[in-house]
Amino acid sequence: MRIVGIETEYGIADPRNPQANPILMSSRLVEACRAQAGGHTARWDYGGEDPLQDQRGHRRDRSQAHADLLTDAPEWDGTAGGVTLRRRRGSWEDPAHLNAVLANGARFYVDHAHPEYSGPEVRSARDAVLWDRAGDAIALKAAERYTRDEGLALALYKNNVDGKGASYGTHENYLVRRDIDFDDVSRYLTAHLVTRQVLIGAGRVGLGQRGEQPGFQISQRADYMEAEVGLETTLRRPIINTRDEPHADRSQWRRLHVIIGDANCFEVPTLIKVGATSMVLSAIEAGDDRLETLVIKNPVAAVQTVSRDLSLLVPLELESGEHASAMQIQRALLGICRAYAEDASDHTVLAHWERVLDALERDPLSAAKDVEWAAKLSLLGRLRERHATTDRDGNTELLDWGDARLAAVDVQWSTLGDGWAARLEKAGQVARLTDDAEVDEATRRAPRDTRAAVRAKLIRARPELVDAAGWASVVIDHEADHGELEVVHLDDPHMSTHPYIDALAAQRG
């Protein structure tokens, strides 16, 4: 399977102080994470950040860019004796306590007002699940240390909405060949991103960005998608994000940055989310003309239509003039993707994809062990029945979807450690693909078959040498003199060893 990665922004709150500053809490949580790691962390290298370059071949003028897009910190690079050098960043740099590159190859940092875990690069859907779960464990351990050291309360939520109109992201990243026309990627991937929510949606109480209307829908992100294609990630959010920041050899690769997905507490949706999307991209790279028949006429409106269709039967208009439901489109994509399964990981994804589609077609609630929105709907349904009222004529009315108790359960569902999703998992009501022992190991160890292993090796063995690290770089300070720094480029995400880094790691500090 292609190189992939998952980023998760966690909701954060102090249950005893609703007015607590989330940026300060997030910063202290990252500090706690660094302390928990015992010094085996590094700062972040912004040298590879390029947030204003667009996949469509142009660059957004910096003066015209919204501040939320400016995730980079421009630095001076030079060359001396064939070695790339970088000056140590000054006081204007994002403070060190806002970033931690970890010994499992991941990054834990403050993104706007949220703590974010960006998992290491992986080469299988199951590994994506494993290191995503490792992120939850790392965040939870940091939160436990934070509450112990600070004497304060802290809750983390693996969701995408705060119930007050704000949405924060769970992003996927896919390595895609540069020679594929980006317009083809945009045109043919959209139908999958619009309809896959029937399989991977996390469920949400409330309709509209602020939950203005009572009701339940399949996806947490659906009401926040407002454009087909665009560079933004925090406003006018697009189905297809065009940021062209490959973190790899630009002449060969793109990094497709997908922002439409929900955060999943269940493992099967994560597996299908990453694995199915990767295979659809393989079909696009192969120029499979069957994808043309699935192009949706009005995809932005269709995102909300699919999310609010609990019957899974509402037809969507296609550009061809035909109509198909989200389930029918997913079934067609499953058939197409069978031709692009490359390894055992892909075949495992296909098996889960088909099994879950079959269950949803029989009865959505029968898929509750695998489909997060179905499990949440089932739980909320029982709560609505428990608090139902009966009038004088004996007519029973379920608890209204606008009731605050349902909204509270929706938020509590995703609480790390002891939320409703975690309780159902502990009770054996949720399908698992990993076990606790391997998740614990993945909090300390990087994947062995990607470049995450390279940077993690040095951070684990010689943290005093690492001034900073990024996805495609490790910045070395040999003399600890805070002058010119050596930058080792890791432009091939598939590499799992690097002779120079390996030699440095093997030396005694």
The total number of structural domains in the chain stands at: 1
CA dihedral 47, 504, 80, 489 (to 10 degrees): -30
CATH for 248: 3.30.590
Entry pTM: 0.91
Q: Quickly tell me which residue has 């009770």 as its tokens.
A: 427
What integer pLDDT is reported at residue 103 of this predicted model? 96
In a domain, 385, yes or no: no
- Helix H or strand E segment including 144: helix 125-150
In sequence order, what E strands does 195-294 have?
204-207, 213-217, 225-230, 237-241, 253-258
Beta strands 170-177 and 155-157 are unpaired
CB of 312 closer than 8 Å to CB of 209: no
- The length of the chain is 509
Low-confidence stretches of the chain (pLDDT beneath 70): 51-52, 57-97, 233-234, 480-483, 508-509
Predicted confidence (pLDDT) per residue in 217-258, tens digit: 999 999 999 999 998 766 789 999 998 899 999 999 999 999
Secondary element (H or E) of residue 23: helix 22-36
375, part of any domain: no
488 lies in some domain: no
pLDDT at 84: 46
The phi and psi torsions of 380 (rounded to 5 degrees) equal -65, -30
Sequence letter at residue 345: S
What are 249's two structure tokens?
Answer: 């050899």
Domain that holds residue 29: 4-364+409-442
Contact (CB, 8 A) for 396 and 403: no
**Strand pairing class (41-44; 466-470):** parallel
Report whether 279 contacts 330 (CB < 8 A). Answer: no
Q: What sections of 292-343 are H helices per DSSP? A: 299-307, 326-337
58 found inside a domain: yes
Sign of the dihedral defined by the CA atoms of residues 70, 71, 75, 77, in that order: negative
pLDDT at 112: 84
How many Cα atoms within 13 Å fall on the side-chain side of residue 194? 34
pLDDT attached to residue 79? 43
For residue 93, what pLDDT is reported? 45
Residue identified by tokens 């959010």 is 237
Query: Which residue carries 């992986």 as its tokens?
Result: 122
111 is catalytic: yes
Look up residue 468 and give its two tokens: 């900073």
118 vs 171: CA distance, rounded Å: 9
State phi, psi for 240 to the nearest 5 degrees: -110, 115
| CA angle at 96 for the pair 119 and 158, rounded to the nearest 5° | 35
Cα distances from 218 to residues 222, 262, 423, in angstroms, run: 8, 10, 21
Quote the pLDDT of residue 97. Answer: 55
Q: Which helix (H) or strand (E) holds 145?
A: helix 125-150
Q: Answer yes or no: are the C-beta atoms of 165 and 247 closer than 8 Å.
A: no
Residue 433 is assigned to a structural domain of this protein: yes
SS3 sequence of 415-449? ECCCCHHHHHHHCCCCCCCCCHHHHHHHCCCCCCC
Is residue 263 assigned to a domain?
Answer: yes
Given this model, what pLDDT does residue 236 score? Answer: 82
**Inside any domain, residue 382:** no
Helix intervals (H) in 308-403: 326-337, 344-362, 372-386
What are the distances in angstroms from CA 456 to CA 126, 136, 170, 487?
20, 19, 23, 16
Positive or negative: CA dihedral 352, 355, 360, 365: negative
Check if the beta carbon of residue 128 is closer than 8 Å to that of residue 434.
Answer: no
Looking at residue 49, its pLDDT comes to 73
Residue 326 near residue 197 (C-beta atoms within 8 A): yes
The pLDDT assigned to 173 comes to 98
Structure tokens at 324: 């198909």
Catalytic pick from 14, 54, 61, 111? 111
C-alpha closest to that of 199 among 227, 179, 180, 219: 219
What local confidence, expressed as pLDDT, does residue 480 receive?
61
pLDDT tens digit string along 440-483? 999 999 999 999 999 999 999 999 999 999 999 999 988 765 56
Cα atoms in the 13 Å half-sphere on the side-chain side of 210: 2
Nearest C-alpha neighbor of 357 from the set 327, 337, 335, 336: 327
460 occurs within a structural domain: no
Query: Exposed (0-12), middle (13-18) or buried (19+): which is 212, by Cβ within 10 Å?
Result: exposed
